[in-house]
C-alpha cells in the first residue's frame, strides 16, 4: 500500500483532532522545559536514519493542555500528540524519548494505518481521503483510541529500543516510564494503558532486549 495513504489519512485525522482539541491545543511552547525537551527529543528521533519513512512522512508534534489525561498517540504519517498529563509524569528526557520512540514506531511500522483499516475498512479510509463521506466528521479522537495488538506493541517496543540506542539515548527511560505507569494506581492512567495493554510483559521483554545486548 502506497505511503501516500498514511500521509493523506494522517493529515485528515490531524486536522480533526486539532479541531476537536482546539481549546486545549498549545500554540507556543514558550520556555516550558518539559515541552522543549520533548520537542528536542522528537526532532532527534524523527531525523533518525533508522526511519524508512523519515522523508515521506510529515513528522510533527502537538501538545494538548490537559493535566488529567495521561496519553500520547501517533497518527498515520507521523503526527504525534502529547497530553501535558503524560509529560508531567516523566522525570527526565530519556523517559520522554522512550514514549516518543514507541509512538513514532507505531506510525513508522504503519500500525496506526492498519488499525484504522482493520476497524473501518479500506473503502471508508479511501472515502475519507477523497472527502466523499461525511461520517468522517468528528471521528478524530475516536480513531486514536483503537487498541494495538500484542504483537504490534512488542514490535513498537523493539523498534523504539533500537531507535533509542542508535541515537545514544538511555533505553532505561522506556522501561522506567512504563514501570511508573504500571505502578501508579490512578484513573488518569486508563487512557494510555487501555491502548497499551500488557505493560508488565512488555517491560520484561524490553529488559530482555537490554540484557541480550550486554
Ligand atoms: Zn503502543
- Residue 22 CA, ligand 1 centroid: distance in Å: 25
The 10s digit of each residue's pLDDT in 94-151 is 999 999 999 999 999 999 999 999 999 999 999 999 989 888 887 888 888 888 888 9
- Residue 74 CA, ligand 1 centroid: distance in Å: 9
Name the pTM for this structure.
0.91
For the chain, how far is it from start to end, CA to CA, in angstroms? 38
How many domains does the chain contain in total? 1
Q: Which residues surround ligand 1, an ion (CB under 5 A)?
A: 153, 156, 196
The 10s digit of each residue's pLDDT in 167-178 is 999 999 999 988
The 10s digit of each residue's pLDDT in 3-20 is 999 999 999 999 999 999
Cβ-contact 98, 181 below 8 angstroms? no
- Residue 195 CA, ligand 1 centroid: distance in Å: 7
Question: Quick one: cell of 174?
Answer: 522506556
Q: How confident is the model at residue 154 (pLDDT cuts 50, 70, 90)?
A: very high
Provide the mean pLDDT of the chain.
90
Amino acid at each position: 500500500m502506497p505511503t501516500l495513504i498514511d500521509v493523506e489519512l494522517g493529515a485528515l485525522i490531524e486536522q480533526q483532532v486539532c479541531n476537536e482539541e482546539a481549546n486545549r491545543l498549545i500554540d507556543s511552547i514558550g520556555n516550558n522545559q518539559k515541552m522543549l525537551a520533548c520537542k528536542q527529543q522528537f526532532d532527534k528521533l524523527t531525523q533518525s536514519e533508522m526511519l524508512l519513512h523519515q522523508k515521506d512522512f510529515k513528522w510533527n508534534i502537538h501538545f494538548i493542555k490537559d493535566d488529567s489525561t495521561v496519553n500520547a498517540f501517533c497518527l498515520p504519517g507521523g503526527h504525534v500528540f502529547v497530553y501535558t498529563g503524560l509529560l508531567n509524569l516523566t522525570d527526565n528526557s530519556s523517559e520522554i524519548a522512550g514514549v516518543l520512540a514507541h509512538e513514532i514506531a507505531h506510525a513508522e511500522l504503519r500500525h496506526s494505518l492498519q488499525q484504522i483499516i482493520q476497524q473501518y475498512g479500506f473503502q471508508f479510509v479511501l472515502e475519507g481521503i477523497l472527502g466523499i463521506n461525511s461520517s468522517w466528521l468528528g471521528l478524530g479522537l475516536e480513531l486514536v483510541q483503537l487498541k494495538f495488538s500484542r504483537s504490534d506493541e512488542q514490535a513498537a517496543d523493539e523498534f523504539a529500543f533500537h531507535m533509542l540506542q542508535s541515537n545514544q539515548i538511555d533505553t532505561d527511560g522506556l522501561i522506567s516510564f512504563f514501570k511508573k505507569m504500571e505502578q501508579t494506581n490512578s484513573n488518569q492512567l486508563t487512557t494510555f494503558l487501555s491502548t497499551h495493554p500488557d505493560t508488565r510483559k512488555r517491560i520484561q521483554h524490553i529488559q530482555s532486549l537490554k540484557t541480550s545486548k550486554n
